[in-house]
Structure 1
Amino acid sequence: MGGKRLSDSGKGKFNARHQASWFIFLGKLIQSGFALQHAVCFTIEDIYTAWPELKSVPQKMANGKTFAEAIKPIVKPTLYHQLLLAEQHGDLDDCLLKVGKMMELREKQRQKLWGILMYPLLLAGLLMVMFVLLRLFVLPELSQWSADDQLPSFMHLLTTSGWTIIGITLIYLLGMMIRFLRANRVQRASILASLPLLGKSFQSYYGYYLTVHLTMLLESGLSLREICDVLVDSEADTLMTDIAKEYQPLLEDGQPIENLLERHHFIPKEVALVLKKGSMMTKEIQDLNALSKVLFERFSTSVERLLVLIPPILFSILAVVIISMYLSLLWPIYQSMQGVLQ
């Protein structure tokens, strides 16, 4: 065969991991000289043979549908519109490679996050069971040993402070969640980019998303005004379309693009600096393309740093919980021993 079959590993849904590998493979084949339809037929019939949802794609394309339209039922709406724009106005092979690499990175990070969280979550579950057993069976018995089962002042203060911090944190998270759910897509991006610790990662991700799209559309010969018109006319349910809808009235009023860029925290300053130049000549487009690569690396690095921070934070929280459980267990014993010694 033309390549290694993936039938054994393809049991189940054609998920993000499989989509990423398929897009990267397709992009490389097209760059090697394959026609799009030939590359699609080859990969589906000879390599990606295990997923029934792919088998209808070549026939749909033979009937006149675009690649994006043919795979619309099996990909997310945002990805569908991204690939559709790439087919109509940009380089589909480059778009497939970039989309595939981003999906591959996110899948690797998701698996790494799950691997990091698995042990702390298991430990937290065991501690929860121990806590319930202590409260129901052990502590009532121990409290009978001592007439005074009140916690000392410093322990009472520690407990009160802990519950206060937890309460404030929960109220803050609830407020952020309500604000997030009520916001539109652009406002949600700004909220995510302003979060403590996570904000820089979201900003890098959105910056990469914008620069990749803009580079692709600018390389096809469209101006910023024409890009706005194309995105608005597409009626795509994407962040790019929402930004274009905001920018279109400013363009009609003759206002510079920085008036829009300065509104939103999720757009990196470097993107604003390139777009402020106005005329998108070859050099500016190259700068934007180079910036997209920098932002991709920045996003990857920032997420890796966050993943490194998660274990010590979780284990610190678990350590406080364990110490609190031991104190609640040992305090009645200590009180009873004091009574005996007196």
Structure 2
Amino acid sequence: MHMALFRRKFTRAYSSALSKEEQLRFLNLLHRLLTTGYSIIDALHILSLNNQFYETANRISGALKNGKTIDEAFELTNFHPTIVSFLYFTKISGDIIENIEKCRNFFQQQLKYTKKFHHVIRYPLILITFFLILLFFIRGSVLPSFQEMFQGHLSSISSIHLTFHIIDFLTTFFMTIFLLSGIIVFMWKKFQHFLSVEEKIKFYQWLPIVRGLLTITNSFYFATHFSTLLKAGFSVKEILTNMKTQKKLPVISFYADIMIDELSNGVDLSYIIHQFPLLDKKLTVLFQSKTDYSSLQKDLSVYAEMLMEEIEYKMMKFLTLLQPVILVVIAILIIFMYASIMWPLFQLIKTI
């Protein structure tokens, strides 16, 4: 009786899903144990000795013992879709250590730049909020006082009216941007599930930054998993069939389905890849120049590593430029507001 109550309390204490940072730590520890020779079940048993991972490790271990595949077991414990997608190909290739290593490296990079983006954008957002409050204060309190003060001075009054119009434009502009952004994000989260993959791809093509990022990441996924399955001895058709079957990378699944159909009609794979807007055109060069699967596998593996570096470089460049650009724009607007308020005073001084 007491033991059952204790077990229920203990289980409830660990019922919440792991955070992204905890998931990364779990992967790192699991990879370390596997590389030292532990089986997956034994490694999970060792991890269950850590209070933080007790329930997660036991649930994964129990799912595996009940016949679930490794990706299904991790999905049951609410691991991130990126991790689950890598583990899907692990069960096919059988190389769990290499796939977990690739998975943790890519997931670590994702977390690193997501946190950095939040850190970079936080201060400018605070400044923009204070700037909007300042605009409302000037519009509602300062400028009406100026109107009363400069009544009868036509040049000063005209400057104040101009400032009114400018502030109205700026407040309307910023509020419209925030409102539209909020509506778009809300609508996307609510209705994206009703859109087909093809419709989503068309939508992504209208967003240059999103399109560029998705092109690199989808190319990375495609090259990594294609290389992994080639190394495991699968044929091109078998690889594409497995890519089509998985559900965590919908764009890759959609493209793989088209590739299978086109290949059955005798179309060259490099030509098919070239038609896809969210795959890097450099992939076509790799598939054109290689007929030997061994060399193609190595080239795709190296290409995936280069894409990882490119993602890191572009994210660093974007984040390095983002904050200064926003701060410069805010500084220009503040200087402009100061000049707009002071200009009527200068005109009044000239008339004295």
User: Could you say which TM-score interval applies, normalised by the shorter chain?
Assistant: 0.7 to 0.9
Shift of 1:337: 2.9
| Aligned residue identity for 1:244 | A
Q: How does 1:200-219 map to 2 (within 5 A)?
A: 200-219=212-231
Give distance in 1, aligned partners of 2:17 and 2:325.
34
User: 2:98 and 2:40 mapped to 1: Cα distance?
Assistant: 13
The answer on whether the counterparts of 2:60 and 2:74 sit within 8 Å (CA) in structure 1 is: yes
Q: Does 1:307 align with 2:319?
A: yes
Deviations 1:208-250 (A, max 9, x none): 1111111111111111111222333456663221111111210
Q: Between the two structures, name the one with larger relative contact order (CA 8 Å, sep ≥ 6).
A: 1
> Among 32, 36, 42, which residue is 2:36 paired with?
32
Question: Which stretch of structure 1 is more off in the superposition, 268-277 or 95-104?
Answer: 268-277
User: Structure 1's 279 and 183: CA in aligned 2 closer, same or farther, altered over 3 A?
Assistant: farther
Change (3 A) 1:233 1:200: closer
Output the CA distance in 2 between the equivalents of 1:186 and 1:86. Answer: 27
Q: 1:63 aligns with which of 57, 63, 66?
A: 66
Counterpart of 1:266 in structure 2 is 278
Q: Is 1:200–1:302's contact at 8 Å kept on the other side of the alignment?
A: no
Residue 258 (structure 1) shift? 2.5
CA contact (8 A) 1:217 1:227 kept: yes
- Alpha-carbon distance, 1:312 to partner: 1.3
> Which amino acid in the other structure matches residue 218 of structure 1?
L
2:114 pairs with 1:110 = yes
Instruction: Decide whether the 8 Å contact of 1:210 with 1:240 is kept in 2.
Output: yes
How many aligned positions are there?
330
Greater helix proportion: 2
Structure-1 residue corresponding to 2:8: none
Question: d(CA) in 2 for partners of 1:17 and 1:77?
Answer: 14
Say if 2:215 and 2:279, in contact at 8 Å, map to a contact too: yes
Q: Are residues 1:328 and 2:340 paired?
A: yes
The Cα of 1:54 is off from its aligned counterpart by 4.1
Q: How does 1:107-256 map to 2 (within 5 A)?
A: 107-147=111-151, 148=154, 149-151=157-159, 184-185=196-197, 188=200, 192=204, 195-196=207-208, 200-234=212-246, 238-256=250-268
RMSD: 3.7
- The normalised TM-score by structure 1 is 0.81
In the alignment, the residues of structure 1 paired with residue 346 and residue 302 of structure 2 have an alpha-carbon distance, to the nearest angstrom, of 66
CA positional deviation for 1:192: 4.6
CA distances 1:140-181 after superposition (whole Å, capped 9, x unpaired): 0012222432239998998899899989999x989x989996
Q: Which runs of 5 or more residues in structure 1 are unaligned?
A: 1-9
In the alignment, the residues of structure 2 paired with residue 305 and residue 311 of structure 1 have an alpha-carbon distance, to the nearest angstrom, of 11
Aligned to 2:10: none
**Match of 1:60, as an amino acid?**
A
Q: Tell me, in whole angstroms, the C-alpha distance in 2 between the residues paired with 1:119 and 1:235.
A: 37
| Cα separation, 1, equivalents of 2:209 and 2:62 | 47
The answer to whether the 8 Å contact 2:143/2:164 transfers is no
| Structure 1 residues 46-93: Cα deviation after superposition (integer angstroms, max 9, x where no partner) | 336356444322222222322222221212445434312311234222
Deviation of the 1:202 alpha carbon: 3.7
CA–CA distance in structure 2, aligned partners of residues 286 and 48 of structure 1: 41
Please give the secondary structure, in 2, of the residue aligned with 1:207.
Answer: helix
Aligned partner letter, 1:14: L
Q: Which residue of 2 aligns with 1:289?
A: 301
Identity of aligned residues (%): 18
User: In structure 1, what is the equivalent of residue 331 of structure 2?
Assistant: 319
